[in-house]
């Protein structure tokens, strides 16, 4: 009962006093830097083949929106994509539910699956199945 009273009191305080967050925002100096690279979302088979032709090395993340381990490792992959060590790798991801033909062609059997493609070849140079951050970092270092 007392916690509800405090919530109401705080809410009332904000509404009745001159509490305006915009006054504080002018004194804070925020800057946003755009990431050097990102993980590109590929939405078609043609888009994947085009990326394969245009980039020397591709890291492909095959994921599903309902997959818990996929959600857990996605920020780690995004951090790697912004790392200067991996600047020559094109990071991409496909949703296996949206592209079932491509998933079948690549032989995806579990999520997440990470694949490295080199020199425009449709055959992966290396494949990692599962959300293993250490193995993912090792795989990237090997092909960087």
Q: Which residues are catalytic?
A: 67, 70
- What is the sign of the dihedral through the CA atoms of 64, 67, 71 and 73? negative
Read off the tokens for 1. 């009962």
- What is the sign of the dihedral through the CA atoms of 80, 40, 113 and 56? negative
Residue positions counted in the chain: 144
CA distance 83 to 5: 48
β-sheet bridge partners, residue 127: 115
């Amino acid at each position: 009962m007392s916690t509800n009273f405090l919530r109401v009191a705080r809410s009332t305080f904000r509404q009745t006093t001159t509490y305006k967050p915009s006054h504080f925002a002018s004194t804070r100096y925020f800057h946003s830097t755009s990431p050097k690279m990102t993980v590109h979302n590929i939405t078609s088979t043609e888009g994947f083949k085009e990326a394969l032709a245009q980039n020397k090395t591709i890291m492909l993340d095959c994921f599903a929106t309902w997959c818990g381990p996929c959600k857990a490792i996605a920020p780690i992959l995004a951090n790697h994509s912004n790392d200067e060590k991996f600047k020559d790798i094109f990071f991409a991801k496909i949703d296996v539910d949206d592209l079932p033909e491509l998933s079948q062609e690549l032989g995806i059997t579990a999520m997440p699956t990470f694949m490295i493609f080199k020199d425009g070849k449709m055959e992966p140079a290396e494949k990692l199945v599962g959300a293993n951050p250490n193995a993912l970092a090792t795989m990237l270092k090997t092909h960087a």
